[in-house]
Structures are given as structure tokens and as C-alpha cells.
Amino acid sequence: MAPSPGWTGEHEWEGDIPFKEFPVSINPPEGYIATANNRPVGDDYPHYIAIDFTPEYRVKRVTAGLKSLTRPTAADMAKIHAEQVSIPALAYQSVIEQMEPQNSISQDAKDRLINWDCQMEAQKVEPTIYSAMRDALLKEILETNLTEKLAFEAWHPADRGLGSFSNRLKARLVAMIEQNDTSLLPEGDTWPTAVARALSKAIVTLSERLGEDIDQWQWGKVHQARPKHNLSTAYPELADLLDPPAIPTSGDGDTPLQGGYSPATPNTVTSLSVARYSYDPSNWDKSLWVVPLGSSGHPGSNHYADQSETWRKVEMIPMGYDWESIKANCETEQTLIPD
């Protein structure tokens, strides 16, 4: 998408896309429809449909998870929500195996990454090393190919557009590594040497942030959702009451258990599954749900953030549908009477 002259008549509105030409899937033979913010149509789709989609890593893992289940229940869907294998991490492992570490701690990090199962689990240190390495590589690519000003703006995105660009470039680098396309690297450079440099930079960064003991670099220490109340900035003396506690989370921007972040705020989660639902149309009372905080928006309520731990564990709670059951189990009841 690029700016176009609006005064020539060459780019006039042509009308609406016919309804029958919209993307559609009705009773697909595989028995399911999977989506995870990915582009829902192929490159042969004739109409413009938008550009801000995520790569297909997440939907591929969702699809694999669905295929692994037979006659799933609503509770089984939590297994899909909890999926945290990173497809890009699997791709990086092949080039990490080829790299020559620059020092002993880089060798330790390399060994850990090679033997890692690519699960972005909060209690593991490998996701922390991998993410810092990948960010360092992205930063070097930007600085190599852009002017200093543009590289800075791309690395410190001030809006969603630049952040989305960064995520798409990350995905593009994965494809280039798999194809051994070195066109974005300095002449004569290779991916193993570039990744080795990035790993060394990542170790320096992590040592400064978390200390030199690599065993203390757990992903959950840095990868956290840090919810902020809109009023806590205006009333900082009330921030402790207004802001819910930070939530250490697994996953990243490439896993079904979404936990994306911006380079401008390293590892602070800015994109996550705000709510998780699992519906059972055969018995609606078996449906489940969970939100990151709680069902109340009132900071003084017991339910302001009481679902946080359940959400962090990727567990779910019952979603009541039967009205009599809801009334029997409610804590309070409020009746609104009009004048």
C-alpha cells in the first residue's frame, strides 16, 4: 500500500465486493475452521482484503492441535490455547548449529538452544536467550539496510503500523534463513556468522538486565503482561491500587498462546489473548471462559483481577448459561427499577 494521486481519476472507488465473492468456508470436509489473525485467503484471491495479518505460524500450530484431538470437549480446547511451540525457533535451530560461538558463555547458550524443545515456557531460560538473540539480529538488519533515522524509528515504533512492520520483517528473516537468502546481510556475510554476532549481543544485554548467571534468565522474569489503569498515570499515588499485578506469561508473538511485544519495550507483552472462550453447543452449560484480569472493572472489587492466575496457567472457568443455575450460584443480586 502506498500513497496515490487522488486528483487524476485513476484510483476512483469501484464499488463493493459482491457478497458471494467474500471469503467463506461452510461445513469444510476436515470438520473445523482454524484462524489466528492470519490472512484467510491465498495469494490468488482477486480482491484487496487488508495487509495487517500475522504470519501463519500460529494457525499451523492451532491446526496441528485440532488434528490431534478426537471428539474434543470444551476443556480440551484449553490445550490449543496453551500451545507454545515456536515454529521460527525451530528454523533458527538449524542455523545456530552451524555458528561458531564467540566465547564460552555463547557456547553454553548455543548448546541450550540446540537441545531446546522450542517451547516458549515462562520457567525456561532458552526462550529468553532466543528472543534477545532474534531482537539483536533484527536491530542489526535494520541498521545495515536503513538510514540511522529510519532504523531508530523502526526499532522504536510509535504506532501499530511500525510494530506490525517489525513483526512481518521478523517473519521474513525466518524465510530468508530457510532459503539461505543473504541479500539483507553485508556482502560476504552468512547467516551463521550474523546469528553468532546477535547471540553475543543478546548475552551482553541479558547479563546487564538479569545478571551473569544464565540459569536465572527465566522467560517469565522479563516476558510479562503489565496492565495499566488509564488513571494511574494521572494519579501516580494511586497506581498500586489501580494497576493490577504484572503477569509472567509463556508464549510469544508466534505461538497460539499469544504474547507479542514491541522492540521499544523489550519483552513487555503488548499483544495477547485478551479473552479465551470454549463453547459447547451440545450443552451450553459446559462452556468455559477466562479473561486476563477479572469480570469487574472496579479496582475495589474482589473480581478486579481474580482470574489472573487462572489465565496465566491457561486454565478456564465455567460460563453459566442456565438462568436458574446462575441465580443459585450468584454472590450478589442487583435490581434496576426505572422511575
Residues 99 and 211 in one domain: yes
The gap between the terminal CA atoms of the chain, to the nearest Å, is 54
Find the mean pLDDT for residues 203-215. Answer: 96
Share of the chain above pLDDT 90, in %: 73
Find the mean pLDDT for residues 248-261. Answer: 93
Residues 99 and 199 in one domain: yes
Of 83, 118, 153, the position where a domain reaches its end is 83
Residues 157 and 194 in one domain: yes
Rounded to 5 degrees, what angle do the CA atoms 74, 76, 79 make? Answer: 130
Q: Are 92 and 177 in contact (CB under 8 A)?
A: yes
Q: What is the pLDDT of residue 163?
A: 65
Find the mean pLDDT for residues 304-312. Answer: 95
Q: Is 338 inside any structural domain?
A: no
Residues 286 and 191 in one domain: no
Find the mean pLDDT for residues 210-214. Answer: 95
Q: Is 281 inside any structural domain?
A: yes
Q: Is 292 inside any structural domain?
A: yes
Domain count, the chain: 3
Residue 152 has pLDDT above 70, yes or no: yes
Residues 199 and 282 in one domain: no
Residues 202 and 98 in one domain: yes
User: By mean pLDDT, which of 192-201, 217-226, 268-277, 303-312 is the weakest?
Assistant: 268-277
Residue 262 has pLDDT above 90, yes or no: no
Q: Is 323 inside any structural domain?
A: no
Residues 197 and 309 in one domain: no
| 23-63: pLDDT as tens digits | 999 999 999 999 999 999 998 999 988 888 889 999 999 99
Q: Is 17 inside any structural domain?
A: no
Of 191, 220, 249, the position where a domain reaches its end is 220
Q: How confident is the model at residue 98 (pLDDT cuts 50, 70, 90)?
A: very high
Nearest to 88 by CA among 5, 172, 161: 172
Q: Which domain holds residue 154?
A: 87-220
Residues 92 and 201 in one domain: yes
Q: Dihedral of CA 295/296/297/302: which sign?
A: negative
Question: What pTM, to 2 d.p., does this model score?
Answer: 0.90
Map grid coordinates 500513497 to a residue. 3
Residues 295 and 233 in one domain: yes
Q: What is the pLDDT of residue 1?
A: 61
| 157-205: pLDDT as tens digits | 666 666 677 778 899 999 999 999 999 999 999 999 999 999 999 999 9
Share of the chain above pLDDT 70, in %: 97
Q: Are 58 and 258 in contact (CB under 8 A)?
A: yes
Q: Is 171 inside any structural domain?
A: yes
Q: How confident is the model at residue 274 (pLDDT cuts 50, 70, 90)?
A: confident
Nearest to 248 by CA among 119, 125, 123: 123
Residues 78 and 165 in one domain: no
Of 180, 202, 220, the position where a domain reaches its end is 220
Q: Is 115 inside any structural domain?
A: yes
**CATH number for the domain harbouring residue 202:** 1.10.1400.10
Residues 50 and 169 in one domain: no
Residues 72 and 51 in one domain: yes
Q: What is the mean pLDDT of the chain?
A: 91
Find the mean pLDDT for residues 58-80. Answer: 92
Which range is most confident: 2-11, 161-170, 215-224?
215-224
Q: What is the pLDDT of residue 294?
A: 93
